[in-house]
Protein backbone atom coordinates (compact mmCIF):
# COMPACT_ATOMS: atom_id res chain seq x y z
CA UNK A 1 0.00 0.00 0.00
CA UNK A 2 2.84 2.44 0.67
CA UNK A 3 3.68 3.05 -3.03
CA UNK A 4 -0.03 3.61 -3.71
CA UNK A 5 -0.25 6.09 -0.84
CA UNK A 6 2.89 7.85 -2.06
CA UNK A 7 1.31 8.24 -5.51
CA UNK A 8 -1.90 9.62 -4.01
CA UNK A 9 0.13 12.11 -1.99
CA UNK A 10 2.17 13.11 -5.04
CA UNK A 11 -1.11 13.69 -6.94
CA UNK A 12 -2.28 15.86 -3.99
CA UNK A 13 -5.28 13.58 -3.41
CA UNK A 14 -4.16 13.01 0.18
CA UNK A 15 -2.03 15.28 2.35
CA UNK A 16 -0.43 12.76 4.74
CA UNK A 17 -0.08 9.02 5.15
CA UNK A 18 1.20 6.81 7.92
CA UNK A 19 0.98 3.45 9.64
CA UNK A 20 -0.51 2.28 12.91
CA UNK A 21 -0.38 -0.65 15.29
CA UNK A 22 -1.46 -1.57 18.78
CA UNK A 23 0.64 -4.76 18.79
CA UNK A 24 4.12 -4.65 20.36
CA UNK A 25 4.98 -7.65 18.17
CA UNK A 26 4.75 -5.35 15.12
CA UNK A 27 7.09 -2.63 16.44
CA UNK A 28 10.20 -4.07 14.76
CA UNK A 29 8.39 -4.16 11.40
CA UNK A 30 7.05 -0.65 12.01
CA UNK A 31 10.57 0.64 12.68
CA UNK A 32 11.83 -1.02 9.52
CA UNK A 33 9.12 0.76 7.49
CA UNK A 34 9.90 4.05 9.27
CA UNK A 35 13.54 3.74 8.15
CA UNK A 36 12.70 2.81 4.54
CA UNK A 37 9.74 5.08 3.66
CA UNK A 38 8.92 8.80 3.95
CA UNK A 39 6.02 8.34 6.39
CA UNK A 40 4.27 11.47 7.67
CA UNK A 41 3.03 9.84 10.87
CA UNK A 42 2.75 6.69 12.91
CA UNK A 43 0.25 5.71 15.62
CA UNK A 44 1.19 3.47 18.57
CA UNK A 45 0.07 2.69 22.13
CA UNK A 46 1.84 4.67 24.88
CA UNK A 47 0.87 5.44 28.46
CA UNK A 48 2.62 5.77 31.83
CA UNK A 49 1.63 2.14 32.34
CA UNK A 50 2.93 0.98 28.94
CA UNK A 51 6.24 2.66 28.08
CA UNK A 52 7.82 0.18 25.69
CA UNK A 53 7.85 2.54 22.67
CA UNK A 54 9.64 5.31 24.64
CA UNK A 55 13.03 3.75 24.01
CA UNK A 56 12.41 2.30 20.55
CA UNK A 57 9.74 3.65 18.20
CA UNK A 58 9.50 7.18 19.63
CA UNK A 59 13.22 8.12 19.39
CA UNK A 60 13.26 6.84 15.79
CA UNK A 61 10.20 8.96 14.97
CA UNK A 62 12.01 12.03 16.34
CA UNK A 63 15.13 11.22 14.36
CA UNK A 64 13.11 10.74 11.13
CA UNK A 65 10.80 13.76 11.79
CA UNK A 66 7.70 11.52 11.72
CA UNK A 67 4.57 12.73 13.53
CA UNK A 68 3.35 10.51 16.38
CA UNK A 69 -0.29 9.90 17.32
CA UNK A 70 -0.81 7.98 20.55
CA UNK A 71 -3.45 5.26 20.92
CA UNK A 72 -4.78 4.45 24.36
CA UNK A 73 -2.98 7.13 26.43
CA UNK A 74 -4.86 5.82 29.48
CA UNK A 75 -3.70 2.28 28.80
CA UNK A 76 -6.92 1.29 27.02
CA UNK A 77 -10.23 -0.04 28.27
CA UNK A 78 -9.39 -2.63 30.92
CA UNK A 79 -12.04 -2.09 33.61
CA UNK A 80 -10.67 -2.42 37.14
CA UNK A 81 -7.23 -3.30 35.71
CA UNK A 82 -7.07 0.07 33.92
CA UNK A 83 -4.77 2.89 34.99
CA UNK A 84 -7.75 4.59 36.63
CA UNK A 85 -8.50 1.43 38.59
CA UNK A 86 -5.01 1.70 40.07
CA UNK A 87 -5.15 5.35 41.14
CA UNK A 88 -8.78 6.41 41.49
CA UNK A 89 -8.70 6.28 45.31
CA UNK A 90 -5.36 8.06 45.62
CA UNK A 91 -5.02 11.81 46.07
CA UNK A 92 -3.04 13.62 43.40
CA UNK A 93 0.66 13.90 44.31
CA UNK A 94 1.96 17.39 45.18
CA UNK A 95 3.80 17.61 41.85
CA UNK A 96 0.47 17.58 39.95
CA UNK A 97 0.13 21.28 40.83
CA UNK A 98 3.47 21.97 39.11
CA UNK A 99 1.83 20.99 35.78
CA UNK A 100 -1.60 22.53 36.51
CA UNK A 101 -3.25 19.09 36.58
CA UNK A 102 -6.47 18.80 38.55
CA UNK A 103 -7.28 15.14 37.92
CA UNK A 104 -5.53 11.84 37.28
CA UNK A 105 -6.70 11.96 33.66
CA UNK A 106 -4.91 15.29 33.19
CA UNK A 107 -1.74 13.93 34.85
CA UNK A 108 -1.77 10.91 32.54
CA UNK A 109 -2.40 12.93 29.36
CA UNK A 110 0.23 15.53 30.22
CA UNK A 111 2.75 12.74 30.82
CA UNK A 112 2.08 11.34 27.31
CA UNK A 113 1.96 14.57 25.28
CA UNK A 114 5.10 15.92 27.00
CA UNK A 115 7.25 13.20 25.44
CA UNK A 116 9.25 15.17 22.84
CA UNK A 117 8.33 12.75 20.01
CA UNK A 118 4.57 12.90 20.61
CA UNK A 119 2.40 15.05 18.33
CA UNK A 120 -0.97 14.29 19.90
CA UNK A 121 -2.80 11.78 22.09
CA UNK A 122 -6.11 10.15 21.12
CA UNK A 123 -7.99 9.54 24.34
CA UNK A 124 -11.25 7.62 24.25
CA UNK A 125 -14.30 8.21 26.42
CA UNK A 126 -18.03 7.52 26.49
CA UNK A 127 -18.75 10.31 29.00
CA UNK A 128 -19.09 14.04 28.41
CA UNK A 129 -17.68 14.86 31.87
CA UNK A 130 -14.56 12.86 31.00
CA UNK A 131 -14.25 14.65 27.65
CA UNK A 132 -14.34 17.96 29.51
CA UNK A 133 -11.76 16.69 32.04
CA UNK A 134 -9.48 15.42 29.24
CA UNK A 135 -9.67 18.66 27.27
CA UNK A 136 -8.49 20.53 30.35
CA UNK A 137 -5.36 18.38 30.16
CA UNK A 138 -4.44 20.35 27.02
CA UNK A 139 -4.04 23.54 29.06
CA UNK A 140 -1.39 24.80 31.46
CA UNK A 141 2.14 23.59 32.03
CA UNK A 142 3.62 20.27 30.88
CA UNK A 143 6.18 18.17 32.76
CA UNK A 144 9.82 18.50 31.74
CA UNK A 145 12.14 15.47 31.49
CA UNK A 146 12.98 15.61 35.22
CA UNK A 147 9.35 15.66 36.30
CA UNK A 148 8.43 12.95 33.77
CA UNK A 149 11.10 10.72 35.34
CA UNK A 150 9.63 11.51 38.79
CA UNK A 151 6.14 10.61 37.52
CA UNK A 152 7.44 7.25 36.26
CA UNK A 153 9.12 6.56 39.60
CA UNK A 154 5.91 7.42 41.45
CA UNK A 155 3.90 5.18 39.12
CA UNK A 156 6.26 2.24 39.39
CA UNK A 157 6.46 2.36 43.16
CA UNK A 158 2.95 3.47 44.17
CA UNK A 159 0.31 2.88 41.57
N1 LIG B 1 -5.13 2.32 15.56
C2 LIG B 1 -5.11 1.40 16.48
O3 LIG B 1 -4.54 0.33 16.30
C4 LIG B 1 -5.77 1.69 17.80
C5 LIG B 1 -5.72 0.75 18.84
C6 LIG B 1 -6.27 1.06 20.09
C7 LIG B 1 -6.90 2.29 20.26
N8 LIG B 1 -6.97 3.17 19.23
C9 LIG B 1 -7.63 4.49 19.42
O10 LIG B 1 -7.11 5.12 20.58
C11 LIG B 1 -8.16 5.90 21.18
C12 LIG B 1 -8.23 5.60 22.67
O13 LIG B 1 -8.36 4.21 22.90
P14 LIG B 1 -9.15 3.59 24.11
O15 LIG B 1 -10.45 4.32 24.33
O16 LIG B 1 -9.19 2.15 23.90
O17 LIG B 1 -8.17 3.80 25.36
P18 LIG B 1 -7.82 5.00 26.38
O19 LIG B 1 -8.12 6.33 25.81
O20 LIG B 1 -6.45 4.71 26.88
O21 LIG B 1 -8.78 4.67 27.62
C22 LIG B 1 -10.13 4.85 27.60
C23 LIG B 1 -10.62 4.47 29.00
O24 LIG B 1 -10.32 5.56 29.90
C25 LIG B 1 -11.53 5.98 30.52
N26 LIG B 1 -11.46 7.43 30.67
C27 LIG B 1 -11.32 8.35 29.66
N28 LIG B 1 -11.26 9.59 30.18
C29 LIG B 1 -11.39 9.47 31.52
C30 LIG B 1 -11.41 10.40 32.60
N31 LIG B 1 -11.27 11.71 32.39
N32 LIG B 1 -11.56 9.93 33.87
C33 LIG B 1 -11.68 8.59 34.10
N34 LIG B 1 -11.68 7.66 33.12
C35 LIG B 1 -11.53 8.09 31.84
C36 LIG B 1 -12.65 5.54 29.61
O37 LIG B 1 -13.83 5.34 30.33
P38 LIG B 1 -15.18 6.18 29.98
O39 LIG B 1 -15.65 5.70 28.64
O40 LIG B 1 -16.06 5.86 31.12
O41 LIG B 1 -14.75 7.63 29.94
C42 LIG B 1 -12.09 4.23 29.04
O43 LIG B 1 -12.34 3.15 29.92
C44 LIG B 1 -9.44 5.56 20.44
O45 LIG B 1 -9.70 6.63 19.56
C46 LIG B 1 -9.12 4.29 19.70
O47 LIG B 1 -9.85 4.19 18.50
C48 LIG B 1 -6.42 2.90 18.02
Instruction: List pLDDT tens digits, range 124-159.
Output: 999 999 999 999 999 999 999 999 999 999 999 986
Average pLDDT over residues 85-102: 93
Using a 6 Å cutoff on CB, does residue 106 contact ligand 1? no
d(CA 100, CA 12): 41
pLDDT band at 68 (very low <50, low <70, confident <90, very high): very high
pLDDT at res. 158: 81
Residue nearest to atom 7 of ligand 1 (CA): 71
- For residue 90 and ligand 1, the question of a CB distance below 6 A is answered with no
Alpha-carbon gap, residue 88 to 145, rounded angstroms: 25
Under the banding of pLDDT at 50, 70 and 90, the label for residue 88 is confident
| Relative orientation angle of helices 27-36 and 57-64, to the nearest 10 degrees | 10
Given this model, what pLDDT does residue 138 score?
95
Residue 80 confidence (pLDDT) above 90: no
Is the beta carbon of 50 within 6 A of some atom in ligand 1? no
Q: pLDDT tens digits for 9-56?
A: 999 999 999 999 999 999 999 999 999 999 999 999 999 999 999 999
Q: Is the CB of 72 under 6 A from ligand 1?
A: yes
Q: Dihedrals φ, ψ of 18, to 5°?
A: -160, -175
Query: 126 CB under 6 A from ligand 1?
Result: yes
Give the model's pLDDT for residue 11.
98
Residue 159: which residues within 8 A CB-CB, separation 6 or more?
A: 49, 83, 86, 87, 90
Q: How many Å lie between the centroid of ligand 1 and the Cα of residue 78?
A: 10
CA of 122 to the centre of ligand 1 (A): 8
pLDDT confidence bin for 79, thresholds 50/70/90: confident
Q: Which domains does the chain have, with CATH numbers?
A: 2-158 (3.20.20.100)
State residue 159's pLDDT score. Answer: 65
- Which ligand 1 atom is nearest residue 43's CA? 1
Amino acid sequence: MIPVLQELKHAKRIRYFGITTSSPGQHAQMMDLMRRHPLDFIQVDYSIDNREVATSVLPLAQERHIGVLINSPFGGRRGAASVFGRVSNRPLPDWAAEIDAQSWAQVLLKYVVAHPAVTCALSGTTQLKHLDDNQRGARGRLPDATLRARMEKYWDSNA
